[in-house]
Chains A and B, each alone.
Chain A
Amino acid sequence: MKSIRYNVQCIMLFIFTMTFASSSFAQKADRSKVPPLGEPKKLSLPAIQTFELSNGLKVVLMEKHSVPLVQMNVIVKSGVVNDPEGKSGLASMVSDMLDEGAAGKSSLELADEINFLGVKIATFSRWHKMGLNLHSPLSKFDDALKIVADILLRPDFPQKELDRIRKERLTTLLQWHDQANMIAAVTFQKMLFGENHPYGRPTMGNETSIKSFSVDDMKSFHEKYFKSNNAYVVVVGDITKDKLVPKLESVFGKWAKGDVPVVKLKDAEQVKKRVVYLIDKPGSAQSVISIGRIGTQRVTEDYFPVTVMNTILGGSFTSRLNNNLREQHGYTYGAGSSFDMRPYAGPFVARSSVQTEVTDKALVEFFKELEGITRPIPADELTRAKNYVALSYPDNFQTVAEIAANIEEMIDYNLPGDYFNSYIGKVLNVGAGDVSKVSKRYIVPDKMVVVVVGDRSKIEEGIKKLNLGEIKHYKIEEVLGKKPQL
């Protein structure tokens, strides 16, 4: 120890001397205080232009001419929650199958055309929406549009491609058995929402449902939901409205309307007591921990207070969870928390992967922080969190893909037209009382689902002694289902 201290002092002396010598020429840096900030600049975004095609299809455009790129997201306002009874995973399968053959072109022909253009076309499904994102150089946009229209409006759902993708999905389900994070996620949503609620089931479906999908299932799902009055288009990039309208009109102008069934979800039952679900994964180097309960829906007056509160709890690097579990204790590479806000209340979850040997100690620290967040927040910590969320907001508007995603959120939740411009002010207006209110409303530490995926033989004793509540033991197959047979 002595020799180390000696070394450090030598270096200090060395640096001090050199500093003194060179800095006499330059403007002196005063390191005794933080340099003052200049005036912050406002984020000024181009106008959001909203219009309709001749068939009523809604289009939202933001022009951005700095790089010759165009992002186009075509959104269908139905998704995983529209899976028919017993056909869990169908929406996801339909989105996967869209580009597997369309308008008479085969899967490989489509892939070749898309890849020759060098554009990116990604089909997707989410809880309440599905569709396609096109990311294209401006020079390839016209050609890409034609392919996009075929994929969205005229998919063929070939039997042989369905068989192929079915096998891929069953194999993916098998691979989940290796992945502690996936086991934790599937268990957490299942215990939180129950299997009778769509939010409680994996979006990809299960072995039985995946094996049951037919070409007719796909076609009827597509027929039912892919209607122009159930869709909208977001375009961001190097293109003007005048140029865009005829292009979209030619590919989407005849997209038919139709009556689309609306699905209403039942509210899931909130967690009533604390239960620990311990899933045994022998030989794990770490335990994967997920703790939480049902949070809130996206449209709520609590949105900004919850965002600030979660930033303090686990939404930033300096947040309490990360600071405690990583920086203070070294139990993990990182810890955090999030609210997944959807049209209906989604999960609040606090999570981390911690070294097996300290699983019980980490759980203690988790609950310390979950309790702590419901008590008054020191003023400087609150200010830091608000500034972090508010002042970094412009960072979300650099790329065409980011901007398009932000516009989608505005449309999905019918947010006001000045949403982007009023965002910073709304965050900065959050008061200590608002945070206190929502922390007590949403963070109820003795009524939470606690999922731990790890080596039972090494962690069970320690967890028992914490008396967190009933401990329920599961094998991996009991939560994921038996390993699927192809």
Chain B
Amino acid sequence: MKRILVVLILLCGFTIAQEKQISVPYTRVVLPNGLNVLMHEDHTVPMVSVNMWYHVGSGNEKPGRTGFAHLFEHLMFEGSKNVPEGKFDEWLEAVGGNNNGSTNTDRTNYWENAPGNALELVLFIDSDRMGYLPDVMTQEKLDGQRSVVKNERRQSYENQPYGLSWEIISKNLYPEGHPYNWTTIGSMDDLNAASLEDVIEFFNLYYAPNNASLAIAGDINIEETIKLVEKWYGEIPRGKPVPPIDPPAAKLTEEKILLYEDNVQLPRLYMSWITPAFYHPGDTEMDLIAKIFTAGKDSRLYKKLVYELQIAQDVIAFQSSNKLSSEFFIIATAKGGHALDELKNVIQEEIDKIKSEPPTERELQKVVNQTEAEFLDRLESIGGFGGKADLLNQYYFYTGNPDYFNEDLNRYKGIGTKDISAMAQTYLPGNGRVILSVVPKGKTELAVQKKEGGVK
């Protein structure tokens, strides 16, 4: 009988101890239906993690349906033709497993961690929803998860201090129509509008094996695993090619100064820029700049704002990396009695400084060392968010190379001090950013004030 494999690549990895290389050796198989399968053996504990990425996220949503990709994620746990409602979780828990999923702008991931002897059960229930979800989809299921997701929005955004900031920022950083113009959670109106037709259409468009990748890591035998994957996923038909999202690159050419009054005690400042996409030139430098700014008491912005001047309660900078482009944020909360302009002025001085004067070798080395240490942590867990199975999928999705661990680390090691300044000059302009002040109700005088003549 003919094997249905079309590609089989076996890569030999180096262990860290021998070569000082960080590597997660994997075996890749592509089924005829287009499903990419990535497998990695790790026998530390007798557990296995099955991790499926569908290459669809909130960026694929239609106008008027924001939040739909995430709502759909919820429906994937509500049963499929051969896995009755509620059984996905019950069967998994009954063998000692658990699961979760998440949605971002670019992709939706699902993972199940279970004892190794339950691998086939996991493949059965996960493949069943890839193949046979619409067969048993109902209005009741949709309405049920709509309520849950609306409560997720209430809990994680509306009932959180400063929780609605992200929505305002996305809307203002990206132009209308750009896939990153809205948040993954979506708006209440759009969640209310989602219909059963939308569910079926979305499934047919995006939830096909050729638009997904499956990583399996843990206490597995590769050959056995390949057979099981073929058995459970092989019968699922290939879908139509998925149209890529390819909007014109977003570019901000003005400084937007925005204000939001919230039910909070202290004002908070959000500064944000559009920056290079995940793993693209510049992305690495922005990661390092974020660390130079706020990683640790001795970092530049923390030291100034929180430690020395004590006008801020906290400050954090980070590069949020995505497929089309990324965002760089600096967020600081003022201490009582301080206005956000005070904070902004200090931050601006530090931005100007890093643009005009490269950091010292030692300062750069410090943040690279921190990054290098974090890479070791990534090798410890097989599953869950950020475990090895998830990372194989992440690297595959964003770079095409599942074992991108060493290249990923090397991109940080290869940065020079001048690169840092150059990228700060390019990507942290004063005339292309969104500044949002969130202030206590009625205290608009604490917000960053618009000035005549603009910012340099």
Contacts and interface: CB of A to CB of B under 8 A. Distances in A.
Contacts of B195: 4
A263 interface: no
Nearest to A355: B151
A117 B369 contact: yes
Given A22-B235, A333-B152, A115 B161 contact: no
Contacts of A37: 95, 117-118, 120-121
A14 B134 CA distance: 11
B94 interface: yes
Nearest to B224: A38
A171 B336 contact: yes
Contact of B235 (A23, A119, A317, A385): A23
B116 A11 contact: no
A117 B453 CA distance: 45
B219 A41 contact: yes
Nearest to A69: B376
A20 B12 CA distance: 37
A234 to B, nearest CB: 17
Contacts of A331: 147, 151
A451 interface: no
Contacts of B376: 67-69, 137
B242 interface: no
A177 B264 CA distance: 8
Nearest to B127: A29
B148 A333 contact: yes
A318 B117 contact: no
Contacts of A28: 231
A398 B381 contact: yes
Interface in B31-71: 32-33, 42, 44-47
Interface in A60-97: 66-69
Interface in B336-394: 336-337, 362, 365-366, 369-374, 376-377, 379-382
A242 interface: no
A180 B159 contact: yes
A41 B235 contact: no
A387 B114 CA distance: 11
A279 interface: no
A43 interface: yes
B128 A31 contact: yes
Contacts of B95: 37, 387, 391
A177 B298 contact: no
A390 interface: yes
A394 B298 contact: no
Contact of B366 (A66, A116, A383): A116
A11 B200 contact: yes
B46 A353 contact: no
Nearest to B87: A34
Nearest to A311: B93
B397 interface: no
Contacts of A332: 148, 151, 155
A115 B266 contact: no
A: contact size bracket: 35 or more
Contacts of B117: 37-41
Contacts of B86: 318, 323, 327
A60 B27 CA distance: 38
Interface string A265-301: 0000000000000000001111010000000000000
Nearest to B135: A12
Contact of A67 (B16, B90, B369): B16
Contacts of B82: 31-32
A330 B144 contact: yes
A54 interface: no
Nearest to A136: B373
Nearest to A392: B96
A115 B296 contact: yes
Contacts of B296: 111, 114-115
A400 interface: yes
Contact of B45 (A12, A18, A168, A397): A397
B200 A18 contact: no
Contact of B380 (A119, A177, A179, A398): A398
B282 interface: no
Interface in B371-428: 371-374, 376-377, 379-382
B152 to A, nearest CB: 4
A112 interface: yes
Contacts of A11: 134-135, 200, 204
Nearest to A317: B89
A69 B369 CA distance: 14
B295 A395 contact: no
B380 A355 contact: no
Interface in A383-410: 383-385, 387-388, 390-395, 397-400
B161 A178 contact: yes
B369 A318 contact: no
B156 interface: yes
A25 B231 CA distance: 10
B449 interface: no
A35 B219 CA distance: 18
A323 B342 CA distance: 49
Contact of B313 (A8, A175, A355, A392): A175
Contacts of B382: 398
Contacts of B89: 317-318
A316 interface: yes
B382 to A, nearest CB: 7
Nearest to B163: A285
Contacts of A3: 197
Given A39-B117, A178-B161, A332-B151, A118 B372 contact: yes
A394 B265 contact: no
A326 B89 CA distance: 14
A355 B151 CA distance: 6
A15 interface: yes
A316 B46 CA distance: 21
B33 A317 contact: no
A41 B219 CA distance: 10
Contacts of B313: 168, 171-172, 175
B148 A330 contact: yes
B96 A390 contact: yes
A108 B197 contact: no
Interface string B93-115: 11111110000000000000111
A102 to B, nearest CB: 14
A422 interface: no
Interface string B307-350: 10010010000000000000000000001110000000000000
The interface centre, meaning the residue of A25, A136, A174 with most chain B CB atoms within 10 A of its CB, is: A25
Given A114-B296, A171-B266, A174-B266, A398 B44 contact: yes
A447 interface: no
Nearest to A397: B45
Nearest to A171: B313
Closest 9 CB pairs of A and B: A391-B96, A330-B147, A18-B237, A118-B369, A41-B46, A23-B235, A118-B373, A178-B161, A31-B82
Given A329-B147, A333-B148, A353-B159, 7 more contacts: A4-B200, A26-B235, A29-B231, A41-B115, A112-B298, A177-B265, A388-B98
6 contacts: A7-B197, A14-B237, A119-B373, A171-B266, A171-B335, A391-B95
Interface of A: 1, 3-4, 7-8, 11-12, 14-15, 18-19, 21-23, 25-29, 31-32, 34-43, 66-69, 107-108, 111-112, 114-120, 135-137, 140, 164, 167-168, 171-172, 174-175, 177-180, 283-286, 288, 316-318, 323, 326-333, 353-355, 383-385, 387-388, 390-395, 397-400, 483, 486
